[in-house]
Each structure stands twice: as structure tokens, then as C-alpha cells.
Structure 1
Amino acid sequence: MTGCRAHASDGPQLLEGFEMRLKLFLAAASLLAMSACTTPNGGETGAVTVKIIGLNDFHGNLEAGKLNVEAPGAVGASVRVPAGGAAYLASAVDRLRAENPNNAVVSAGDMIGASPLVSALFLDEPTIAAMNLIRIDYNALGNHEFDKGRSELLRMQNGGCEKHTPRQPCRVDADFAGASFPFLSANTLTETGAPLVQSYGIKTFGSGARAVKVAFIGLTLKEAPSLVTPAGVAGLTFADEADTANALIPQLKAEGADAIVVLIHQGAYTKVPFNDKSCGGLSGDILPILDRLDPAVDVVISGHTHVAYVCDYGKVNKDRPFLLTSAGYGGTIMTDLDLTIDPRTGRVIAKKADNIIVQGEPFSNARGDYPVSDLYPHFSSRQDVASLVARYSAAAAPVAAERVGRLTAPATKAETEWGEQVLGNLIADAQLAATRAPEAGGAEIAFMNAGGVRADLVPAADGTITYGQVFAVQPFGNTLMVKSFTGRQIRAILEQQFDSGTNTADHPNFLNPSASLHYAYDLSRPAGQRILDVTVNGKPLEHERVYRVAMSNFLASGGDNFTAFREGTNQVGGAQDLDALVAYLSRSQPIVPPKTDRVAKR
């Protein structure tokens, strides 16, 4: 597709110095624009170009020096580019805004939730404050916006200091104002059938005869109830994404929308770099949604998978020529998307997007050094946002620096080919230790869901692990539960790793067992017969015997499609999962990370 504005090419720019590249870029843009339609925002055709800056899955990553992006290097090899940080993101957004006064900054969900300590310790209030300073226009609700329940989600939107969680709100700023931008979700419905938050927004660009309108529909993935604590979405219904969007199209057109953008918290996977336009290896749960979406939609800005991509979906399905984008994770990338609209016809005549790394400051950690790369643009830190982050970082620092214990080696969340995680196993052991005593529930087995392990535990040179590191691993504040299950029910739970909702044999969702439980599985066998050779404390699992099993309240209420956990009886509540892990790591002797020998793939 071509348009009235030039853009960077798909690969990295290799001219010396970013400023020179920027000057050449803008000069080329100007020449191309004049040759096509005189100016980017009008001229002979009267076309108006609207710039949309897309974000997703920020997850409260306020601080710089934490994240990096793997990107193509100068001679074929990849480079790791230091990226992210709210202050750098603010400057990056400002730079794009300066190119075109007709702009909107939008997010496709998970702006908050599963956040680092500096945000999560304060109930994500600083993230909302930072996004207010960045001047976000709309944020579609993702699943993590529901982590702390409906009431706390609405507090994030509306402000106030009412307490809905164990943590105290308004600890740093006495008057939390809430988001100055609307939360959107057309398919999140309350008990009355009405949307929980605003369904869509329409923004007008230009004026008079050259005014154009762009509509933004917010959609939450319909699987959200299986991804958060069910109590957090009690009473809410998540309708089909495509059906919901399609039903809104006539209304949006009647309100004068010239272009329609869907902000959906669902996503895809690819096998190509972050700004490769080939759509190579595109897969994922969003594809069936796209294949049913009304072709009147022009752009789909997506998220959830934490993978960055730009894809003309018309290459995949010629009847659905959407521009599909995602900006990855944590504010490390932003999508620069231009829609050129003819106000006379109300049609989009060109669209183009590029993913841009939000490269900020260099940093080093236990995994290596991440210097600034001259192959990619570099952004400065915006002072007002940096000051906000510094204030909350200072408030969190004493807690984050507290020494918890020692590890003899790193414990990572990477999954083996048979589905175990070293860190997931360690957490399961910690949860069993916290619930084994009769007064704590008398657990014999514990399970940890792989998706709940959010960061690696990499000790310092002397083996030290801090509270901040442990918090990054388990930021949700879940409560441990112990329930009674028969051996037959435990087998059914294990079978649901491969056969329950989105948990399938092709895309298993593994549980990490405590050291007390071992089993094997064989995916060539029929559903319901894949689990083999289960033992508990070295003895074969007895189908009729009752066992006491520990898990988080997330799993206990059926999270991650493990509905069989709901069938347990004689429930006993316990400590927070974070506290259990801290206690386990605080033992006098350094902890040796467990082996991944509890599961066997046949």
C-alpha cells in the first residue's frame, strides 16, 4: 500500500547518526508527499493523514534499564537494544506527535497489572499518573486490568482512595485522580447487559470540509474470566469479540466515522523481527476473530501475546485487508501508524505502520551489557515523567532492597520441552512448605501455574535475592488455598493441561507440581487418557483416596481453564503466595533450585 507520506523502510536504518537519518527521512517524506498529494494533510486531493501511536501490554513498566528488544543488526546478527521506561516513552510519543497535529495515542490493554514493584506496590496508581502525563487517548481493557476486581478497575478509571484490596491506596499521592482517558471495552457487560465501561470513542481531526472522524472500538479477549481470579470478574460477561465489533459498525458509520480502529486485547505470534512486514509465521487466537471481523474495519491494534508485529492481514485473508499491529511489551516499542483519509468520500485511501524501538539508556545486569545501538533512534528522558517515576521509586526502594535469602544458582521461568519450569517447581515447593502443617491445611501436593511465574530469579554474586526480585516473580497478591481432591480428580486436573478451553494438546498449559508428585504424559493417546504413572510421595496415585492439595486462589476458582480445581472440598485459606515464597527463600541455608525431573514426556 502507498500513501501520501513516506515512512522508514522495514529494516534498520544504517546511515551514520540518528539526526542525519531523521533529516533524510523527513526530506524524503516531504518529497514523496508533494509528488502524491502536495502535503501530508491536504493539498490538491484534500486528503487528511491521521497519525495513530499504538501501545499495548505496558504492565506498569515505569523504570528504564530493565528491558531490551532483540533487533536486526548491521551485518545479519541480532542486537539487544535497551528499551522502555515511561520517561523515554513519553519523549518518543512526543517526537511522533510533533510530526502531525492530527494524532491519537492508544493502548490495547494490560496497561496495569502484573507490574513491577514500583507500580504494583502502589496499586498501579503511578502508571495511570504517567499515562495521564503522556496524554493517552484511549485504553482498551485487557485481562490484567481485572486482576484486583471490578471495583478497583473502576477506581483506576474514576479515581479516589477507596480500599478494595489488602494494599493501602493513595500512599504516595493523597488524592488519586484516576485516568484522564477513557477505558474502552464494548464486550465487557454487567449484569444488566450494559457495558462496564465506554464501548468506543470517536475523535475528530481537522475542521470544516476537511474534518475526518476516526472511531476506536475497545475489546477485551472473551477468555478473560479464565485468565484472572474469577471473583474479580464475578457478574461480568465477556461477549464474542468479532460479533460485538461488527454490531457497532452501522452505529459508528451513522455517527460519521470515516475510519474504524479496533483496539483488542488478543494477539498473534510471528516468526519474523518486530518490524518485518511479511506476516511470516503468523498464528494465534486473534486470527479466527479477524476472519469474522467486518471488512469496514481499517486497523486492528492488538496485544496480549507480548509479540511485536506489523502485518497487512490482506496477505493472509484477501477479504480482510486490515492493518494488524502490536507493539510488544512493556513500552519497549511503539507503533507509528498513518491513515490517509479522503474527507470527500469518507474512505481510507492509504495506511502504513512501523514499529519503533523506544531506545533509552544503556544498562547492565547479570545477563550482560546493553549499550545504546546507533542502528536505531535514541530518545531522551522527559523530565516530568522521570520525576514522577523517581518519586515512586524512592518510596518503593527500601522495600525492594530488603534481602530475602540466597540461591545457589538462577531459577528461571523458561519451560523445558516437556513443560516444567525450574522456578515454577521452586514456587510449588514453597507453597507446599507453607501449607503442609495441619493447621495450615495439611497439604500433600502443590501446583503452580506456569503463566503466574512473571520473572526469573537471578541471584547476586553472593547468592542474595531481594524482596523486589521476588515481588517481580509473583506480583498478583494471590492467596494460597488447600482443598481435598480424590486421586481421580487430581488426574482430571492434570488432563486439563491438554484438554480444557484454550488448553489443548497443540498448546498445552502446564502446571508445575511440588516435589511430592511425579507423572508422565503421552499426547498420542486420546483426550482423558494422556496422564500416566502418577505418584505421590513415591507411591502410585490412588483414585479413591482423598489428598490435600495447595494452590493459589486463582487456580482454586478455575483460573487458566483448570475448572476441575473448583471441585475440591474442605477449603482452608492461607498466606499470600508472595509471603510463602519469601519464607521459603529465607531459610538459613542457600536454596538449591530444583531439578526439572517431575514430569516425563512419553
Structure 2
Amino acid sequence: MRSPRRALVALAVPVAALSVGLSIGLAPGAVSSTPATKAGTTGAAAYKKATHSKKKDYVRLDLLALNDFHGNLEVPTGNNGNIPGITGVKGTPAGGAAQLASLLNSERKKSRANGASTLTVAAGDLIGASPLLSAAFHDEPTIKAMNLMRLDASAVGNHEFDEGVDELLRMQKGGCLPDGAGANGQDSCPGGQDFKGADFKYLGANVFWKNPAGHSRPTPFKPYTIKKVQGQKVGFIGMTLEGTPSIVSAAGIANVDFKDEVETANALVPQLKKKGVKSIVVLLHEGVTPTDTTSYNSCTGVTGPALTIAQNLSPKIDAVVSGHTHQPYNCVVKDPAGKPRLLTSASSFGRMVTKLHFLIDPKTHDIVRPAAYAENIINANSEGQPQNKKVLSLIDTFKTLVQPIANKVIGHIGTADVCTGGVQCVSRTQTADGFDSTLGNLIADSQRVDPTVVSGGKVPVVAFMNPGGIRADLLENPAGDVTYGAAFTVQPFNNFVVSMDLTGAQIRSVLNEQWSGANKPSSSGISAGSNKILQVSGLKYTFDTSEANAGSTNGLVGPVMIDDDGNAATPMVPLSDTTTYRVAANNFLSDGGDNFPTFKAGTNKLIGGLDIDSLVKYLALAGNDPYNVTATDRISLQP
């Protein structure tokens, strides 16, 4: 059974309240908004006091923690180059794997000088939804980079399952795929490269085989790993969010279940205790969102599932390194026994590293929690920033290997939007009143006419696209070309296009699910930024915001018109609840992803080709090169 997830509010803790052996004075479960970071903060002061004490010779351990790297080997560009709400460092973007490797080495050197041992860990989503430089090679380059960075362990994240459990096991164990040497935009082990897999351990404590028969253990990945630090045992439990099935394509995870995070970790504590482990850290791919993301070493008004998880984990667990929300934060929460526990996250894309400082009592073999503190360190990418030569060489090698794939011209843009820097583009920005975008229209249109999902002569007349799967604007390069690399930046998930039968009533249910159930808007009402407004092709409809703002969960969608014959030249007709229509969507939506369960009820499903291929083929159609952006008038507010 899933543990209850409570909505909790951050409470301030006086700086003086935390000292060695002193109770903080908050009720169990409360969260501190006091920074737990540099010198002068509560944990740091207690750490300094303890290390200057002559009573005990504490073992010093520094953890260097990453999360949500997503294959960003090069410095992220555009908005991704800056940490949300923070304009880099003095206006300079952050990130880059070669810079990150250098920063990690620098921090290790500092730790050694301070008498501390170091371990490097991650909280998941190292791979998946990656730029083409990594994704074109099934993220093998990122695993190689992490090996060079001497990563010790990582939790599995939801994006680690983008290509399924078997592929993630290959990431761990190594081996090459016979994928046609880049024929479909991916090339395993290119140019004679080998792939030995991850030197670090992927940990998936809450990922269980549905049928464990024939498996050496009930989980595909080890639930925990134990590291020795100056004779002291430190255990790391790794988990992804229990809700992974709702945000990952079902086909790749059909043989596994995802279980409750708190129950899973708490059940492992006695096992670790039997092995003599009393210092325990959870690597958790789940997170929170602070109200102030610019204070990256603070914990302001945080909300989210990881907060409740961190508050309910066994008091024997000493810290939680988290991720998933791509936010930087540095929190102290109270465990069920009222003791302080760190909850941290290092933003995303390799733009930060969290350094957690621990003291281990050699007598009790446990982390001295009141003396624990953490700091988020920005991986600045300024001119002259040191870069690790081995990682830089790795990146240069794959930049050469990816060129034939990335530079293939797939089309051009005629009538266009204008994006950042005045570049001609097709924009993913959804309109303030209509909630559709020109790029959403393009992608939905391309999937509706994809020949690989025509079943028995039945051509889809409607297509849906989830906006979260549109990761960037579609940009022209300086030569005026649209390349495969640009298209892949837009759609990096390698989802398959699926056609299915849905009744008119089911289509209406899908539309209403944008504002009901798990997607129900807050009391502030519907907004394009907070709701999963599906991009559509073959449909036009209105919805009533006044009804939505009043809290209605049914009948939000008003008149719906449908292109029932698939011919854009003929007028649309009213949607009939009793008529069955052929509908296209990617396999993520088809499996009920993003909390659209009605798609799961679709019948006569046919799995076609990759979504990126639909876009490439559509741009090559007669009349689409150059492509002219369409009007954003498919979804509108009811007057």
C-alpha cells in the first residue's frame, strides 16, 4: 500500500537550534527553511565544533552528488544553460561534462586536504531525454563519461527506463546493439567503439520483477550498495519514484512493478543493519519545488512528494539525495523521531554538484546528523574554466561520429515564427488564449498522416501530442536548413506512433482529462503553463474557463468539431459520441501517460514507427518543403 502523501508547509528554524546533541524543537515532519550550507549555518557550525573536539576522532566523509544529467555532455544552450531563476555565475552559463569532471576532481582534492574521504553518487536520470550527441548512440557516451568521472553509484530514474528495462540492464553490463549503424538515427558502438557498461552500480530498490521466477533476485537492479570509508560501512539505497509507470512508455517496463518508496527503503534498513551498516543514505529520484529557485542553497517553501518521503523514512536513514524536479535546494527535514535529516538536489544537466559533509562516529558507526551539512556548488562555464582532458576527448570523438546523423537536411521553413536571437523557427510556445502552438500543430499533423499507423486501410483522422514531449523550438540553422539534429532536439524520446480506435465519447473524455483527475488545475484556474494541454490535429474545440475556475471536473469541453474523413479540404463536422474514430498518438500517451487513462482503453492498436521519423517524413512531403506555420486556432476559450 502506498504511504500517504501529505501537503506540508515549510517552517523556519532558528540558526542556533541545531548543535551537536541538541533537539531542534520542531514537531516531527516539519521542514527547515534555514539553509544547511556553508560556514556559519547550523550544520556547518556543528561540524566544525565536532571536528575540533578531542573527545572523538570522527571519520570524515564528503559526498559529491549529481542528478538529472540527461546526457548533457556539452554546455547546455539557451535557457537550459542557466539554472532556473539564476543567470549562471555573473551571467555565465553553467554545465558541461568536461567542466563537471574537473570540478569533481577539484572538490575531491579539497576534501582530501581536509582529511575527508569522498564518494560520488547520483539520484537518477543520468540518461534519457538527452541531446543528440548522447542519444544518437543510445546514451553510451554519457555512461562512459560517468565512468571517467568515477561515479560510485546512482539511483535509477524514470528516464533510465525510456528504452526499457533490458536496455538499462545493457547500460549496466555493456554490449553493443545491432541497430543498423545509424540508419534510424541511432548507432550503438559507432566507428569501432566498444561499450563495457557502467563501472558504477545502478540501484533500483523499488523496481521489482512481476514474475521473479528465473531471476537471481526479485529486482533487476541491486537495491543497495555498501561502501567502506576508512573502515566504516556506508549503505546507499537507490530508488525511482513509484509513479514512474505514468510517465514512461509501458512496453519497456511491462515486466516490472514500481513500489512505494518509503515502505521499500524502510524494509531494507534491517537488512543493512545485519550487515553492520548504520550510516545510510537514500538516493531518490523524486523531488520538491521551492518557491524561490534563485536561493539555490536554501529551502524556501518547498512542496512535493520527496518532502513527505524524506519525513517518513526510517530514523535510521541519515540523508536523502534527490532529483526529478530539476530544482536546486538544500533542506533539513525532521525524521519520524524528530531528528534532522538532509534533503538535497543539484538542479539538472550537470550545472551543479551538491557536496554533503558527514562525520561518522567510529564508536557507533553512524553519521552524526546534527553536524551534517551540504552546499550546492555551481559548475561554472566561464572562459578558462578547467576541463578534464579525458572527458573532453570523449566528447570530441562523439561530436565527429554524430555529424553524419545530425547534419542531414530534412527540410526548410517558409512562413515562420521568430525565436530567440531572431532565428526562424516553428515555436513550441503555447498561445495564452488558445493553448495550442505552431510546433504542436506540426507534430500532431505529422503523426496523423504517418503511413506506418494505417491499419487495414483505416487512416487516423485525429492525432494528439503531449506538450511535455516537445522539448525545444524547431530551428533553422544559419544556412536556412532544418536538420535531423534540430528535429531530434525537439523530440528526443524515441517514442513510437500508435493508432487506435476511440469513440467520440472517449475523445471527449481525453479532452476533459486535461483538467480533471490528476490533471485537475489548482484553485487559481486553468493556465497554459500549469496544465497538460494536448496538441491536436483533426480537431477544433472550445472549453469554458469559468466552469473550470469554479472547480468543475466534468463537461469542461464545449463544442468539438472533427475532420471525420481525414480530408482537410472538407468541412469539419460535430463530434459524435457514438461514432468510432481512428486516433494517433505516441506510445507514451497510448499507455495512459501524463494521467490520460482513457487512451489505455483504445482498441485495435497498431504500433508504427518512431515519432521523430513521422516529423522527418512529413517535412519531406510535397507542399511541406518549405513548411509554413499554421494558425493556432484549434483550441479556444468559450466566449
Aligned to 1:425: 441
* In 2: Cα distance, 1:568 partner to 1:81 partner: 48
Q: Provide the residue aligned with 1:333 in structure 2.
A: 352
1: CA distance, partners of 2:111 / 2:498:
53
Moved more, 243-252 or 155-164: 155-164
Question: Structure 1 pair 449/389, CA: closer, same or farther in 2 (3 Å)?
Answer: same
Percent sequence identity over aligned pairs: 39
- Residue in structure 2 matched with residue 83 of structure 1 by the alignment: 94
Aligned-partner SS, 1:82? coil
3-state DSSP of counterpart to 1:282: coil
> Which structure 1 segments of 5+ residues have no match?
4-8, 14-24, 362-371, 373-377
Deviation at 1:544, TM superposition (A): 0.7
TM-score (norm 1): 0.84
Which range is displaced more, 522-531 or 221-230?
522-531
1:35-88, Cα deviation, whole Å (9 max, x unpaired): 73556xx965212221111101111111236342248889xx995431211111
Comparing 442-451 with 406-415, greater Cα deviation is found at 406-415
1:8-39 per-position Cα deviation (integer Å, ceiling 9, x unaligned): x97999xxxxxxxxxxx9xx9xx989973556
Alignment of structure 1 residues 446-595 onto 2, 5 Å: 446-460=463-477, 463-500=480-517, 502-506=518-522, 508-514=531-537, 516-521=539-544, 522-523=547-548, 524-537=550-563, 538-586=572-620, 589-595=625-631
SS in 2 for 1:81: coil
Q: Does 1:48 align with 2:71?
A: no
Task: Output the CA distance in 1 between the equivalents of 2:630 and 2:394.
Answer: 40
Q: Select which of 107, 130, 144 maps to 1:115.
A: 130
Q: Structure 2 vs 1, CA of residues 394 and 347 (structure 1 numbering), >3 Å: closer, same or farther?
A: closer
Q: CA contact under 8 A between 2:311 and 2:333: conserved in structure 1?
A: no
Residue 385 of structure 1: aligned partner: 391
| Alignment partners' CA distance in 1, 2:85 and 2:72 | 24
Cα shift at 1:249:
1.6
TM-fit CA distance, 1:554? 2.0
Contact 1:290 1:320 in 2 (8 A): no
For residue 137 of structure 1, what is the aligned residue in structure 2? Answer: 152
In 2: Cα distance, 1:264 partner to 1:343 partner: 27
Distance change (3 Å), C-alpha of 1:412 and 1:98: farther
Flag structure 2 segments of 5+ consecutive residues without an equivalent: 1-17, 21-33, 213-217, 418-424, 523-529, 564-571
CA distance in 2, matches of 1:155, 1:34: 41
CA contact (8 A) 2:437 2:632 kept: yes
1:533, 1:34 → 2: CA distance? 64
* 2:207 is aligned with 1:188: yes
Q: Is contact 2:51-2:58 (8 Å) kept?
A: no
Q: Residues of 1 paired with 2:454 and 2:199: CA distance?
A: 48
Decide whether aligned partners of structure 1 residues 596 and 532 sit closer, same or farther in structure 2, where only a CA change above 3 A counts: same
Instruction: Assess if the C-alpha contact under 8 Å between 2:47 and 2:371 holds in 1.
Output: no
CA distance in 2: counterparts of 1:132 and 1:73, whole angstroms: 29
- Structure 2 residue aligned with 1:322: 341
Question: Would the alpha carbon gap of residues 73 and 429 (structure 1) be closer, same or farther in structure 2, given more than 3 Å must change?
Answer: closer
Give the aligned residue type for 2:222.
Answer: Q
**Matches for 1:229-244 after TM superposition, within 5 Å:** 229-244=249-264
Measure how far apart 1:597 and its partner are: 3.2
Match of 1:369 in 2: none
Q: CA deviation at 1:203?
A: 1.3
In the alignment, does 2:304 pair up with 1:284?
yes
Aligned twin of 1:93: 104
> How far off its partner does 1:284 sit?
1.9
Amino acid at match of 1:148: E
CA distance in 1, matches of 2:635, 2:337: 44
The corresponding residue for 1:68 is 81
Q: Distance in 2 between matches of 1:433 and 1:62?
A: 35
Q: Indicate whether 1:262 and 2:282 are aligned.
A: yes
Q: Deviations over 1:149-200 (max 9, x none)?
A: 1111111100112448974522245431000111001100012451111001
**Would the aligned equivalents of 1:448 and 1:513 in 2 still touch at CA under 8 Å?**
yes
Find the aligned partners of 2:328 and 2:458 in 1 and give their Cα distance: 44
Tell me what 2:376 maps to. Answer: 355
The whole-number CA distance in structure 1 between the counterparts of 2:177 and 2:583 is 35
RMSD: 3.3
8 Å Cα contact 2:281/2:320 also seen in 1? yes
**Post-superposition shift, 1:273?**
3.2
How far off is 1:595 after superposition? Answer: 4.2
- Residues 294 and 134 (structure 1 numbering): CA distance in 2 closer, same or farther, change over 3 Å? same
CA distance in 1, matches of 2:471, 2:48: 50
Letter of the aligned partner of 1:330 in structure 2? F
Residue in structure 2 matching 1:395, options 397, 401, 406: 401
Aligned to 1:287, what secondary structure does the other structure show? helix
CA deviation vs aligned residue, 1:472-529 (integer Å, no higher than 9, x gap): 11122222122121100111122222334x4333364331112533231542353333
Contact 1:441 1:548 in 2 (8 A): yes
- Residue equivalent to 2:162: 147
- Secondary structure at the residue paired with 2:474? coil
Aligned to 2:501, the other structure's residue is in SS state: strand
Deviations 1:529-586 (A, max 9, x none): 3222222144321101121111112222222232211222233443321111123334
Contact 2:62/2:119, CA 8 A, preserved across alignment: yes
> In the superposition, relative to structure 1, how do residues 38 and 145 fare at CA in structure 2: closer, same or farther (>3 Å)?
closer
Q: Which secondary structure state, in structure 2, belongs to the residue aligned with residue 291 of structure 1?
A: helix
- Give the drift of 1:231: 0.7
In 1: Cα distance, 2:179 partner to 2:251 partner: 13
Superposition deviation, residue 278 in structure 1: 4.1
Letter of the 1:597 partner, please give it: D
C-alpha distance in structure 2 between counterparts of 1:568 and 1:297, whole Å: 44
Query: 2-side partners of 1:557 and 1:497: how far apart?
Result: 16
What residue is the counterpart of 1:36 in the other structure?
Answer: 49
Secondary structure, aligned partner of 1:60: coil
Superposed displacement of residue 451, structure 1 = 1.7
Q: 2:118 aligns with which of 103, 110, 114?
A: 103
How far apart are the structure 1 equivalents of 2:356 and 2:331? 12
Map of 1:343 onto structure 2: 362
State the alpha-carbon separation in 1 of the partners of residues 187 and 508 from structure 2. 40
The answer for the alignment partner of 2:14 in structure 1 is none
Q: CA deviation at 1:286?
A: 2.1
Matched to 2:205, the amino acid is A
Letter of the aligned partner of 1:397 in structure 2? Q
SS in 2 for 1:83: coil
Match in the other structure for 2:30 = none
The worse-fitting range, judged by mean Cα deviation, of 461-470 and 535-544 is 461-470
Contact 1:130/1:385 (<8 A) preserved: yes
